[in-house]
Amino acid sequence: MSSTASSHTAATSPTPAKPAQKRVRRTAEEARRLILDAAEKRLATQGPEGIRLQDIARDVGISHPAILHHFESREGLVKALIARTNTQLREKLLAALSNADDPAQDPIESVFEALSDRGTARLLAWLLLTGRVTDTDRSPQMLMTEIADQLHAYREENASQNGAPAPDREDTFFLAMLTTSVAFGDAIIGRYLAEEAGLDEAGVKRFRNWFGKLLRQHVERTDTPAGDDEGK
């Protein structure tokens, strides 16, 4: 097929096949959003190698050069994806913490929930594995410090209400670090372990509750004057 090299340059040719193709034209912002969504989904389901311009283009329903038009290169797409995910993660986590005053909402559990989202954890894992984290503006570790600070304020208030001495700052940081590591690890490997061990959805939930209780016991033990543990 296609032997004549100049097929479309000769516009004056009598070929009536000009099909007047209908072409969808989105705003740049919208197009970028759709592309990033597709890339994120590919990454979550197929891993690092799942980000291929042609596949993503097919998912969105465009041609792959359109992607290159919006993001300079494949690398540009990846960076944009990282930036967006960072922002989303940040917003989710801070939102989760913002209603820490609400006694019905356990802040630790909220953090866990937000971080253990499948796509986010996988993206995070990938960018940590490939060492691509350094050059983003709002990297996760800043977030960590922020979270630790908020948690610490929460604990200090609690302790002062109970008449206990202020908790150690490092203890709070370790708490945050543990929660982050667990949530992350759980999202990547825990889900798999649970599945193989015959643990169903309810089992996973029980695990989370168990973990939350473990942390709560630690906090209560630390932030109350005596070894005064309330049963549940």
In terms of CB distance, is 107 or 140 closer to a copy of itself?
140
Site string for a copy of itself, 115-134 (x = CB under 8 A): -------x-xxx-xxxx-x-
Residue 7 interacts with, from DNA, a copy of itself, none (CB under 5-8 Å by kind): DNA
| Of the residues 14, 16, 17, 22, which one makes contact with DNA according to CB under 7 A | 22
Residue 139 interacts with, from DNA, a copy of itself, none (CB under 5-8 Å by kind): a copy of itself
- The verdict on 75 binding DNA (CB under 7 A) reads yes
Token pair in block for residue 183:
């949530």
In terms of CB distance, is 33 or 205 closer to DNA?
33
CB 215 within 8 A of CB 175: yes
Give the interface segment with a copy of itself, choosing from 12-20, 71-79, 152-160, 176-184 (CB under 8 A). 176-184
Site of interaction with a copy of itself (CB under 8 A) = 46-49, 122, 124-126, 128-131, 133, 139-142, 144-145, 170-171, 173-174, 177-178, 180-186, 188-190, 192-197, 206-207, 210-211, 214, 217-218, 221, 227, 229
